[in-house]
Structure 1
Amino acid sequence: METKPADEGKENAESMLADIQKKVSDAFDIFDHESNKTVDVREVGTIVRSLGCCPSEAELHDMLAEIEEEEPTGYVRFERFLPMMTRVLMERRYKPQAEDILLKAWHVLDTEIKGHLTQEELTKYMTQEGEPFLQEEMEEMLSAAMDPDKGTILYKDYASIMAVEEA
């Protein structure tokens, strides 16, 4: 029996949905330390970002408001996380910026056009402007971005790491 084109589209959509739900489940399970289909609410941002999404803190807060219990417990249940995260991924929301856009942002910060920023400069920008980074987030960023030999952030190299190529 031959498959009709309409059936192929439906099968592809179902396959894509199944793949997304498996990715969401696998990411969630890594942080489900008690193996009880719950994660600490503080881990949700890490899970979302591990799935290739880059929401702002305000957007992440909105996501949490959607999936938290009526009476906050400090935990998020998988059964509430899965539909929300599946929808986010299917709609391709919160995608990272392209490398050229990231480089433009770095150029704005590099007023002397040195091609790099110092640790002090980056820390000042990231903790005192806009949506400030926490100390832990700053340390994590510096450990990934800092050139250990020069003690600077060569932002052209870091922008390529930050950008995620579309699959």
Structure 2
Amino acid sequence: MAGRDGVSGHDGIVAEIEKKITEAFEVFDRESNKTVDARDIGYIVRSLGCFPSEAELHELLAKVEEEESTGFIHLEKFLPVMTKVLLDRSYWPIPEDVLLHAFEALDQNKCGYITKDDLVKYLTEEGEPFTQEEVEDMLVAALDPETNTLRYRDYLSKLVVDETKILPFHV
């Protein structure tokens, strides 16, 4: 059965994915020459609904960077790598129930919130540490300004990604 554009099955899905990737890439292609600054790849990948760790992002960059490492990424190198990432559902968002369980594990008093001090400690001392800028961004986005706490059940709605908005078709 043919898709909207007359392309059938897997080829139609790949064509739609490539179109979505190209559109996201072009937002950052300031010179309109099919290249973007390597520093923008994280934004592009995340805009496509993938959330790699910094280490995974560096691995992805290594796959798409030119041998001479110009600091720019070409669409022709990025497109097949990112298409595979989306088809394989790599770096997919964490489900809401898993996020809730993680926040509850950090909430040792089971009171429904995490204090600013505890949050900063977790962000900078546990797992892959946040940079100072990332911590500040997180605090602005996550903390209740009146109580200076993270009410994580309320915050979950900002973290959860609707998968149908990433790939609104069956892969």
TM category (shorter chain) comes to 0.7 to 0.9
Partner of 2:20: 23
What is the 5 A alignment of 1:1-167?
A: 11-167=8-164
Partners in 2 of 1:47 and 1:138 — Cα distance? Answer: 21
**Which stretch has the larger CA shift, 105-114 or 80-89?**
105-114
Gaps of 5+ in 2: 165-171
Deviations 1:12-34 (A, max 9, x none): 32332222112111111111122
Deviations 1:100-124 (A, max 9, x none): 1001111111111121112222111
Q: CA deviation at 1:126?
A: 0.7
**Which stretch has the larger CA shift, 94-103 or 133-142?**
133-142
**Which stretch has the larger CA shift, 10-19 or 119-128?**
10-19
Q: CA deviation at 1:138?
A: 1.7
Gaps of 5+ in 1: none
Equivalent pairs counted in the alignment come to 162
Partners in 2 of 1:138 and 1:34 — Cα distance? Answer: 32
After TM superposition, the score normalised by the length of structure 1 is 0.88
**Which stretch has the larger CA shift, 50-59 or 141-150?**
141-150
| Root-mean-square deviation (Å) | 1.9
Q: CA deviation at 1:140?
A: 2.1
Q: CA deviation at 1:81?
A: 0.7
Letter in 2 for 1:53: C
Q: CA deviation at 1:156?
A: 1.0
Q: CA deviation at 1:54?
A: 1.1
Secondary structure in structure 2 of the residue aligned to 1:147: coil
Deviations 1:23-50 (A, max 9, x none): 1111111111222221111111111111
Partners in 2 of 1:64 and 1:109 — Cα distance? Answer: 32
Letter in 1 for 2:101: K
**Which stretch has the larger CA shift, 10-19 or 114-123?**
10-19
- Structure 1 runs (4+) deviating above 4 angstroms are none
Partners in 2 of 1:159 and 1:82 — Cα distance? Answer: 31
* Amino-acid identity (%): 53
After TM superposition, the score normalised by the length of structure 2 is 0.86
